[in-house]
Amino acid sequence: MTEALAIRLADYQPYTHLVDQVSLTFRLAPTATRVKARLDLRPNPARGGGGHDLRLDGEGLRLLALAVDGRALAARSDATGLTISAADLPDGPFVLETEVEIAPEGNTALEGLYMSNGMYCTQCEAEGFRKITFYPDRPDVMARFRVRVEGDLPVLLSNGNPVAQGPGWAEWDDPWPKPAYLFALVAGNLRAHSAPFRTKSGRDVALNIWVRPGDEGRCAYAMDSLIRSMLWDEQVYGREYDLDVFNIVAVDDFNMGAMENKGLNIFNSKFVLASPETATDDDFARIEAIIAHEYFHNWTGNRITCRDWFQLCLKEGLTVYRDQQFSGDMRSHAVKRIEDVLMLRARQFREDQGPLAHAVRPESYVEINNFYTATIYEKGAEVIGMLRRLVGDDAYARALDLYFDRHDGEAATIEDWLAVFEETTGRDLAQFKRWYTEAGTPRLRMTDDFKDGSYTLHFEQENPATPGQPVKGAKVLPIAVGLLGPNGDEVVPTTVLEMTEPRQSFRFDGLPARPLASVLRGFSAPVVLIRDLRPEDRAFLLAHDTDPFNKWEAGRALAKDLLARMVVTGAQPGPDWLDALERVTLDDSLDPAFRALCLRLPSDDDMAQTLHASGHVPDPAAIYAARRRMGAALAQRLAAGLPGLIASLAEPGPFTPDARAAGRRALRLAALALLSRVDGGAAARAAFAGADNMTEEVGALSCLLDIGEGQAELARFEARWRADRNVMDKWFALQIAYAAPERAADVTRALTAHPDFDWKNPNRFRSVIGALAGNHAGFHHGEGASYALVADWLLRLDPLNPQTAARMSTAFETWPRYDADRQGMVRAVLERILATEGLSRDMREMAGRMLG
């Protein structure tokens, strides 16, 4: 369908020209902002010097003036840019000047220069700069930027260091060459929460978090996270900050989480603002991780950027990997790993096993904004984790040093990245590279045997077909294994087996008795492990495994096996799982955060994925019902111990967001949710009434909604938080997330009529429409009312904000899993979307790919 419009990796060519310097002047006005640009250009020797036309990207710009070396040229712009014929250009360097007019106030796509609550702000990644001025808007064109901002607002910010300012104007200079996607400008009535920082070599940096007046008191945690991130990157990667200021701005209307613009990070306000009263423990953890992520991009993304957008994982996979390491160091590696794998399976495995599967480094795209995916980010990080496991920590550190040395100031590729590992280790990574070029989640089957003291593990890997990739080769799989003896002692400590063949066996000799293998420790490779294990063996691993990830995974597998049997055969929860879970829950030697994770039942969507992968057609209503029965059985079993457990986890003293306190709250709230199933919500009602922090407030409210109660509490919550956008997002989302399947569409429809359902705000849209898509049984209920409702809203949003609409269309990506009726209904919805006149390129590509 869209073949003709696809951009291909194979077509890459360097740009015809080099840009040495960019000078921009902005005269801000809501409906008529003037942008003057002066570009110092010269022919690119890599394209054989001169003789090329100059092609600049530009969209929605009103061109007012155009001159080369001071000589005015007639304007010849089209819908996507401007071409100046080689005949009009001198042979050597020249200066191009343009002036354009744009209207930030009418920019509802939130890409380019737009307005949010009276504040001007920008989002240029991936291709938003072309909506600001005519420019070679591609990441391999790196230039120095000098920016003058004129506007009648107290705070005027851009990238780099401040040069000069006066009433109504400010000038900024960024000494580091950068691609246009890292450009940023902010202007508004903002207040700063500030702190000083001195880098390890003695550079003083002014740190500022800019927020709307009134929000200054909610910046402390983000600032603390920033300072810890800066110290960590110095200590762990030897990377220092490189400007005199580091500015962060919180914006309410933002399509994504945050953006790493050089020296001027722009954040979705929900990932900056936090106080104990307004933010949950999960919010605090996410803020810490995203502040770190954007800060770490200063080296992995900004100093070394991507040659083209096919290399997006070069910066995103590595930066996610780094922020995961950081969060593990700040909190608990075991808990962080479990949470990351839960997320990976929920989002990336889901993507990889459906019609939107694509490689970590794709070969073509229509709209690059559709490729900011779990595969690029999270699988991209997993691939780096595997690489590190294969080469070892020291070699990893040396490879990274070489990477930073060699490519600083450059726009690099995955080939460059792999080359530093090949050179530091002498390894050939040709086969490993398949992880970047081939999509799909490998399935790894394992069997074992024991004879005469020799224990052998047999593995077989299968690499399933994905769209456009019918056949693929074997992957390099680092399989971390440990062996446990019959009494639970570890007889062989963690060993990394390196599998490179489709089938491979590994033998361990000299064992007195048949061991039980703990396989894929730490989730050492992003695969689906298929292994027949008796429930008592899983329970044994849950009790004895020394690897915390696999200890959790054993309990998880026990629960999933049971839940699958409950769905398929109507079985009842047996003693294996209940006994095992009771032991873990009441084991005070285990981290409360870990125990809370063990109590979390597999999600409905996770079960649908698992059942589908094992050859069943998942029935959403049956999964929902079985999961409810499972929760009820667990609540009955643990009932007697719950009040004591809850009481023992009370935190005296004021709220602190640290991991230890958060873990205790998590376990307490997990216990409260179970208790609510047997006490009618009495304890949760009391907890809600007495809550002095948002974690408790939302936690207790969730317990009540989960048992079909909590209407009075919802009303009180709304009355208390009506004026707070970020908190009210939770209020909207919770009601839909916990709605019973047959009510989910109606609850959602009613909330879309609420006066505070500001659907043009991406956070609010996600809290309502996204929450319905996330309520598995509700989304797939009955005759497709939820499908239609979600589609209607996507089509309504698409003309205004294609990026957010297209992203949310992934609600439909799992349709091939389900029965013929549901498949037919979703196909009809996707066909209706595709047939809509004026559909965005973003949405057209997504719907087209989902239909296959």
Does 260 engage in binding with ligand ARG (CB under 6 A)? yes
Q: Of the listed 288, 294, 339, 813, which one is catalytic?
A: 294
| Cα 444-445-446 angle, rounded to 5 deg | 120
Q: Does 59 bind ligand ARG (CB under 6 A)?
A: no
The tokens for 545 are 């495994």
Contact pattern from residue 498 through residue 517 relative to ligand ARG, giving x for each residue in contact according to CB under 6 A and a dash for the rest: --------------------
Nearest distance from C-beta of residue 291 to Zn ion, angstroms? 12
- In the complex, the smallest distance separating the C-beta of residue 59 from ligand ARG, rounded to whole angstroms, is 14
Nearer to ligand ARG, 107 or 424 (CB): 107
272 binds, among Zn ion, ligand ARG, none (CB under 5 to 8 A by kind): none
Q: How far apart are the first and last CA of the chain?
A: 10
Closest separation between CB of residue 380 and ligand ARG, Å? Answer: 11
Identify what 125 binds: ligand ARG, Zn ion, none; CB under 5 to 8 Å per kind: ligand ARG
Residue 229's SS3 state is helix
Which helix (H) or strand (E) segment holds residue 658: the answer is: none
Interacting residues of 76 by C-beta distance below 8 A, sequence separation 6+: 82, 83, 84
- Residue 104 falls in which region: left (phi positive, over 0), alpha (psi -120 to 50) or beta: alpha
Alpha-carbon gap, residue 360 to 345, rounded angstroms: 15
Q: Does 126 bind ligand ARG (CB under 6 A)?
A: yes
How do 185-188 and 7-8 pair as beta strands?
Answer: unpaired
What, of ligand ARG, Zn ion, none, does residue 840 touch, CB below 5 to 8 Å by kind? none
Collapse the DSSP code of 341 into the 3-class scheme (helix H, G, I; strand E, B; otherwise coil) and give the result: helix
Position closest to ligand ARG via CB: 372
Which window, 163-171, 242-250, 317-325, 710-718, contacts Zn ion (CB under 5 A)?
Answer: 317-325
Longest dimension (CA), the chain: 89
Quick count: other Cβ atoms within 10 Å of Cβ 465?
Answer: 12
Q: How far is the CB of 766 from ligand ARG (least distance, A)?
A: 15
Regarding 318 and contact with ligand ARG (CB under 6 A), the answer is no
**Amino acid letter for position 141:** V
Beta carbon of residue 301, minimum distance to Zn ion (angstroms, whole number): 7
User: What is the C-alpha separation between 847 and 834, in angstroms, rounded?
Assistant: 6
Own/partner pairs for 231-238, CB < 8 Å, 24+ apart? 232/292, 232/326, 232/329, 232/330, 233/295, 233/296, 233/299, 233/322, 234/199, 234/200, 236/325, 236/326, 236/329, 237/299, 237/322, 237/400, 237/404, 238/401, 238/404
**CB closer to ligand ARG out of 126 and 659:** 126
The mark string for 66-105 relative to ligand ARG (x by CB under 6 A, - otherwise) is: ----------------------------------------
Residue 372 binds to ligand ARG (criterion: CB under 6 A): yes
Q: How crowded is residue 535: how many other Cβ atoms within 10 Å of its Cβ?
A: 17
Complex with Zn ion: residue 122 or 319, whichever CB lies closer: 319
582 is catalytic: no
Binding partner of residue 258 among ligand ARG, Zn ion, none, CB under 5 to 8 Å per kind? ligand ARG
Amino acid letter, residue 408: D
Size of the residue set binding ligand ARG (CB under 6 A)? 13
- Decide: is 215 part of the binding site for ligand ARG (CB under 6 A): no
Under rule CB under 6 A, residue 294 binds ligand ARG: yes
Residue 369's binding partner out of Zn ion, ligand ARG, none, with CB under 5 to 8 Å set by partner kind: ligand ARG
Q: Which stretch binds ligand ARG (CB under 6 A): 65-73, 158-166, 258-266, 611-619?
A: 258-266
Hey, which bits of 44-168 come out as E strands?
Answer: 54-57, 62-68, 71-72, 81-84, 94-102, 112-116, 119-123, 143-150, 155-158, 161-166
Q: Which part of the chain contacts Zn ion (CB under 5 A), choosing from 39-47, 310-318, 347-355, 361-369?
A: 310-318
Closest of 330, 207, 352, 204 to residue 265, by C-alpha: 207
Size of the chain in residues: 852
Q: Does 316 bind ligand ARG (CB under 6 A)?
A: yes
Cβ-based nearer residue to Zn ion, 316 or 352: 316
Residue 126 contact partner, candidates ligand ARG, Zn ion, none, CB within 5 to 8 A by sort of partner: ligand ARG
Residue number with CB closer to Zn ion (54 or 258): 258
* Amino acid code (one letter) for 20: D
Closest contact distance (angstroms) between CB of 322 and ligand ARG is 12
- What is the β-pairing status of strands 204-211 and 245-251? parallel
CB of 426 to Zn ion, least distance (A): 31
**Site residues for ligand ARG, window 792-831 (CB under 6 A)?**
803
804 binds, among Zn ion, ligand ARG, none (CB under 5 to 8 A by kind): none
Query: Considering beta carbons, is residue 159 or 748 the nearer one to Zn ion?
Result: 159
Q: Does 256 bind ligand ARG (CB under 6 A)?
A: yes
CB of residue 82 vs ligand ARG: minimum separation in angstroms?
23
What is the sign, positive or negative, of the torsion defined by CA atoms of 387, 501, 480, 612? positive
Local structure of residue 369 (DSSP, 8 states): G
How far apart are CB 622 and ligand ARG at their closest, in Å? 37
Take residue 124 and report the two structure tokens written for it: 């240029």
Residue type, 106: G
Residue from 302, 369, 463, 550 binding ligand ARG (CB under 6 A): 369
Q: Which residues bind ligand ARG (CB under 6 A)?
A: 125-126, 255-256, 258-260, 293-294, 316, 369, 372, 803
Q: Which residues are catalytic?
A: 294
Q: Which residues bind Zn ion (CB under 5 A)?
A: 316, 319
